[in-house]
Amino acid sequence: MHTYHAILRDILENGSRQANRTGIDTISIPGACAKYDLALGFPAVTTKKLAWKAVVGELVGFLRGYDNAARFRELDCKIWDQNANENSQWLANPNRKGPDDLGRIYGVQWRQWRNADGWHTDQVMTALRTLHERPTDRRIIINAWRPDEFDQMALPPCHVLWQFIANVERRELSLCMYQRSVDSFLGLPFNVASASLLLSIFARLTGFTPRHFTHFMADTHLYVTHLEQAKEMLSREPRPLPRLVINDRIPFGAGDAFDPSWIDRIEPQDFTLEAYDPHPTIKAPMAV
């Protein structure tokens, strides 16, 4: 977590004040990069408590293609409630279907990318099958950026593109993610854990060991309402990283054991953090 702390310090020391759509200014830097080696432990923040159940619930919801905050709540994830029901722009959008509707957000794009001919592309299944059949392919990408469908989303995606890179000789799988906008106090630890979990799931289902998660960040910022909380985090000493434990019922999909349909059968309780001993929670308001 020293890497994460370095980003917070960079923002506090070198950032510029910026206005944005939420009406709450940020202190922002234009670009940051971080690399996490999952061989050293799972990168769950330790200088405050990570909302692990929400991380897992949201990712499972994405992988199921959910478009409704109520479905996410069923998975112990409430972080989409405000965007679904309190975002004034979305509430006034004629494409909103009613309470809890989120529209064509991340998971919908992952699993049902609409093509011009009316057919859907399942990017998740395509990526899994490509990793199994052609693991050195440099086009194993999942994309969520759909400018033509922004008017059908509660919120355009902040994390935009995921690319899987396999080392066949070492049987290791890595992930690079590009994120256009980064809420560095509330969102960034959540994003790192979510992407690292996604990498771990894909590695498990395709018979690889998860290795590096590299995070490319564009507008990397702290909201002015989070500055004191960030300073409190920086005053705390990071603790040892936990270990991700995946339920044995999910197969290690090497060779003939490859079964991509497991992506639709995973449950939040299949993933636990072992030896996770964080500092206490630090609360901060969410900017919507």
Side-by-side strand order, sheet with 172-183 = 16-18, 26-37, 209-223, 172-183, 159-167, 141-143
Q: Tell me the C-alpha distance between 286 and 226, whole Å.
A: 9
Annotated catalytic, 33? no
Our measurement of the distance from residue 262's CA atom to the centroid of its chain's CA atoms, rounded to an integer in Å, reads 20
**Beta carbons within 10 angstroms of residue 275's beta carbon:** 12
Our measurement of the distance from residue 132's CA atom to the centroid of its chain's CA atoms, rounded to an integer in Å, reads 23
Radius of gyration of the chain measured on its C-alpha atoms:
19
- Selecting among 33, 77, 158, 176, the annotated active-site residue is 158
3-state secondary structure of 173: strand
Compute φ and ψ for 83, nearest 5 degrees.
-65, -30
| Cα separation values, 181 from 20, 47, 73, 157, 280, Å | 11, 22, 24, 9, 26
Q: Tell me the C-alpha distance between 141 and 163, whole Å.
A: 4
3-state secondary structure of 179: strand
- Quick one: which H or E segment has residue 175? strand 172-183
Question: What's 212's DSSP letter?
Answer: E
- Active-site residue set: 158
